[in-house]
A = this chain, B = another copy of it.
Amino acid sequence: MKPETRKEEIIKTAAKLFKEKGYSAVTMRDLAKAMGIKAASLYNHINSKQDILKSIIISIAEEFTNGMNEIKSSNLSSINKLKQVVKLHVNITSQNTYGMASLNNDWMHLEDKLDYYLELRSNYEDQFRSILIEGINNKEIVDSNVEVMLFSILSTLRSLYLWIPKKEALNIDELSKNLSQVLINGINK
């Protein structure tokens, strides 16, 4: 479809390297080599190493924010909202496994965008929590420790980037369904 710009290529390659070794361990010379050019040439397309990280993380974080807002403002049942959240994570992650690694592990190197990122993340968690509480109040969800439920589900969803790439011939819809099943109904018979 749309022919990728050189800048987008660089950011994508960077995300791949960041996933393998982490932001700090990847040098501009590593990135240049992966692109088949010299380090200085990168600066014809990007402003700084920092900027690359920002591009990667902030765009994904905003995707999550937008997705969550949509789900929150729907009039689905609480359980179905949760299923939509699972789908949101599976979709974003399967389209950007490299970027999700940076989001999870390298957000602390964001510098001037750090506060913005932390705010997005905090808001996201608040909205997630409120879905659970709503579900408890209308008897859809069992009334046990909300924080444990929240972080249990969220941890799994945030780790998706680690094992989605391993599943070849992955069916996104099936994965979402399986995950919802396990996260919502547990594994007990």
Contacts and interface: CB of A to CB of B under 8 A. Distances in A.
Interface of A: 20-25, 79, 105-106, 108-109, 132, 135, 139-142, 144-145, 147-149, 151-153, 155-156, 158-159, 162-163, 167, 175, 178-179, 181-189
A141 B142 CA distance: 20
Given A142-B189, A148-B181, A183-B186, 7 more contacts: A20-B108, A24-B24, A25-B109, A105-B105, A141-B188, A144-B178, A185-B186
A187 B188 contact: no
Nearest to A164: B151
Q: How many copies does the complex hold?
A: 2
A189 B140 contact: yes
B151 A159 contact: yes
A175 to B, nearest CB: 7
Given A186-B184, A186-B186, A151 B163 contact: yes
List 5 tightest A-B contacts by C-beta distance, closest first: A186-B186, A155-B159, A24-B24, A24-B25, A185-B186
Nearest to A163: B151
B142 A183 contact: no
B158 A108 contact: no
